[in-house]
Amino acid sequence: MKHSRLFSLSLMMLVGSILFGTQSISAQTKTLKFGDDGKFKIVQFTDIHWVVGSDKSNAARERIIEVLDAEKPDLVVLTGDVVTSKPAEKGLKEALAPIVERKIPFALTFGNHDEENDLSRKEMLAVVQSLEGNLTTTTEGITGVTNYVLPIKASADDRAAAVLYVFDSNAYSTIKGLKGYGWIEHDQIGWYKKTSAAYTTANGGTPLPSLAFFHIPIPEYHEAIANEGNFMVGTRKERACSAEVNSGLGTAMLAAGDVMATFVGHDHVNDYAVNWRGILLCYGRLTGGSTTYNDIPKGNGARVILLTEGKREFETWIRIKGGEVINHTRYPQDLK
């Protein structure tokens, strides 16, 4: 069945664990794979802001169910701020229940609000890892908790055909005198560069089509939107709330040549996608209800991403209440 496109740990995964020298690959006990039709579909939920015991969270649950049943994804990625109340363990399980119940593989990264309750990031990770279908793991020795990579295998064999990078964008500035949100640190970027280079080498020197997921947008979202000649589609109702400093992730991705697009959350009334130097910088659609600010036209929803095996391209769109689909975009065709 499509929802069960998961396979046992293979020899290639063991080789990968040696190749990359981290737990990012070796910790994965299940594998994602392109379908016989050469497609792989991802649904991104973001900023659910689940509040235990609040009827206002029902809107998030309703939209999650509606999107999952309409799209039938191969993978769900949640890009932070899943739960914003105590007890966090119960909140996480309630928010993720529709995904778990449908036996859909899922992965997540934390946002700046998740750990403001009664559990640390590591404690929340343990809760998430106890749930069926979880692919969330960690990479030891670098900043943050939810840094890992998910290869998508080819439909006909065990080769990695595409790569998903998940980053922990941390929470708030750790530099004295510098206010604002956190950023992806240099050691995390170093991990990405090493991992990307290894995949490229294993693929005969050609970078694999890749996507990146994290919570807080990088400053390149400002640069991209400021250029009126750039392709842009979607809703923008607030300035990107990135860190006040640029740690260099965008430049690293340009140099590596693998990442086609980034997908973030954090800013609830933005769902746009904009071209930045050939990388499509995307927001997910706010999935939460009125437990948080949510003044985005037509309400909450989700972003959908459809990859095609063997091609450096994808499609993406937003699905909202009532099954309406908006902001359909093709990469790279629509960037021209």
**pLDDT digits over 23-43, tens only?**
443 344 578 999 999 999 999
Q: Name the pLDDT band for 63 (thresholds 50, 70, 90).
A: very high
Residue 16 has pLDDT above 60, yes or no: no
Q: What is the dihedral of CA 282, 206, 306, 124, to 10 degrees?
A: -60
Residue 220 has pLDDT above 50, yes or no: yes
Q: Which residues of 54-159 form beta strands (DSSP E)?
A: 75-79, 106-109, 148-153
Query: What pLDDT shows up at residue 30?
Result: 75
> Percent of the chain having pLDDT more than 90?
90
- Closest by Cα among 226, 224, 218, 214 to 247: 218
**pLDDT digits over 154-189, tens only?**
999 999 999 999 999 999 999 999 999 999 999 999
Residue 76 has pLDDT above 50, yes or no: yes
H or E element at residue 308: strand 301-308
- Closest by Cα among 265, 284, 283, 159 to 209: 159
Residue 219 has pLDDT above 70, yes or no: yes
| Strand arrangement of the beta sheet that strand 210-213 belongs to | 7-8, 30-33, 148-153, 160-166, 210-213, 259-264, 279-283, 273-276, 232-233
Residue 106 has pLDDT above 60, yes or no: yes
Tokens of 232: 């842009």
Question: Is the whole model's pTM more than 0.85, yes or no?
Answer: yes
Query: 186-202 vs 11-20: helix axis angle to the nearest 10?
Result: 130
- Closest by Cα among 120, 48, 117 to 81: 48
User: Domains of the chain, with CATH numbers?
Assistant: 2-335 (3.60.21.10)
